[in-house]
């Protein structure tokens, strides 16, 4: 198994924990913007310290950052902020597992975005695995209260819109991060990935702080007051993001995102065990297709 595969699986596990904590923050203490900000403000200092420590321990010099790096990094960072807000807002419309699954449209989006921005494609077998996963997502695009309604009303709803928007934006962010990391000419894979992450999270923290100060007075104070849970969001975010960035540096974003669909299994466990929410037969069928997609991907890539 190539190194990027276990790294991606661990990233999906950490991300599941982070989204669960963010859902708790959103439902008990913070707004969508506040729950999103908690992810960045508590992880950014940890990432910066981590990259400096790693460079010192390994005796490496931080890579020189070219201008093109900032174009990719800021593009990816802005897309990720908006995408995260879409996912947090989505939790109000569907249960936890289905909310996570909606964002998995990013896998198919990543194929197109990666081809357009970086000129990176996928094999036909790999694309077939991605399409199997897409079928699973489509099975999960039908809110229970709309069952029996015309197909266009079942698919064209706010929850589906938020999920698709987050998928496209997460695809853009992953491609942007890969482009930024690949633009660094020195340093090993881990150093280039974590330096990219440090720059991105610092910029995201500043941007979100300005937004909240201007648009949601008092929300930054509420984020600080919720530090016990919010700090856990930051820690899981740091772990998950580090793994994602390393995986993006090692492999095409579309393949990383496709394997990351294993997060669905983790989210279903969280849904049942922690949030006591039920999973319908239709959702299990969609989840089964996504699992099949992951298995095929592992075999063909």
Question: How would DSSP label each residue in 98-129?
Answer: HHHHHGGGHHHHHHHHHHHHH-----HHHHHH
Please report the pLDDT score of residue 266 as a whole number: 73
154-175 per-residue burial string, b: 16 or more CB within 10 A, e: under 16: beebebbebbbbbbbbbbbbbb
For residues 174 and 76, the answer to whether their CB atoms sit within 8 Å is yes
Lowest-pLDDT choice from 66-70, 143-147, 200-204: 143-147
**pLDDT band, very low/low/confident/very high, at 194 (cuts 50, 70, 90):** very high
Q: Is the pLDDT of residue 61 over 60?
A: yes
- Residue-wise pLDDT tens digits, 42-57: 889 999 999 999 999 9
- Residue-wise pLDDT tens digits, 132-172: 877 876 676 555 555 555 555 555 567 667 778 888 998 99
Query: DSSP state, 252?
Result: -
Tokens of 215: 């648009």
Q: Which of 112-126, 137-151, 257-271, 280-294 has the highest mean pLDDT?
A: 112-126
Segment 76-84 shows an average pLDDT of 89
Tokens 């330096």 locate to 195
Pick the residue with more confidence: 146 or 18?
18
Residue 228 to residue 248: CA distance in whole angstroms = 30
Pick the residue with more confidence: 242 or 106?
242
Please report the pLDDT score of residue 31 as a whole number: 82
Lowest-pLDDT choice from 50-54, 149-153, 252-256, 259-263: 149-153
């Amino acid at each position: 198994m190539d190194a990027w595969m276990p790294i991606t699986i661990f990233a999906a596990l950490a991300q599941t924990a982070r989204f669960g904590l963010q859902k708790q923050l959103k439902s008990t203490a913070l707004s969508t913007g506040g729950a999103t900000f908690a992810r960045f403000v508590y992880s950014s200092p940890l990432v910066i310290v981590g990259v400096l420590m790693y460079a010192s321990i390994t005796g490496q010099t931080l890579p020189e950052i070219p201008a093109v790096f900032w174009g990719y990094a800021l593009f990816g960072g802005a897309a990720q902020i908006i995408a995260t807000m879409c996912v947090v807002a989505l939790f109000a419309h569907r249960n936890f597992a289905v909310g996570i699954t909606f964002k998995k449209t990013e896998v198919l989006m990543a194929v197109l975005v990666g081809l357009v921005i970086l000129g990176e494609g996928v094999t036909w077998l790999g694309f077939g695995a991605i399409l199997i996963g897409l079928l699973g997502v489509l099975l999960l695009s039908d809110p229970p209260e709309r069952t029996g309604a015309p197909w266009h009303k079942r698919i064209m709803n706010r929850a589906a819109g938020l999920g698709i928007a987050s998928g496209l934006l997460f695809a853009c962010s992953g491609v942007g991060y890969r482009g930024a990391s690949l633009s660094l000419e020195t340093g090993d894979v881990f150093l280039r990935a974590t330096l990219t992450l440090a720059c991105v999270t610092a910029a995201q923290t500043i941007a979100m702080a300005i937004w909240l100060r201007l648009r949601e007075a008092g929300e930054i104070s509420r984020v600080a007051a919720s530090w016990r849970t919010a700090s856990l969001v930051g820690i899981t975010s740091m772990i998950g993001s580090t793994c994602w960035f390393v995986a993006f540096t090692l492999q095409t974003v579309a393949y990383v995102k496709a394997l990351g669909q294993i997060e669905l299994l983790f989210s279903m466990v969280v849904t049942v065990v922690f949030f006591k929410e039920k999973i319908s037969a239709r959702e299990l069928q969609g989840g089964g297709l996504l699992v099949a997609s992951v298995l095929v991907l592992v075999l063909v890539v």
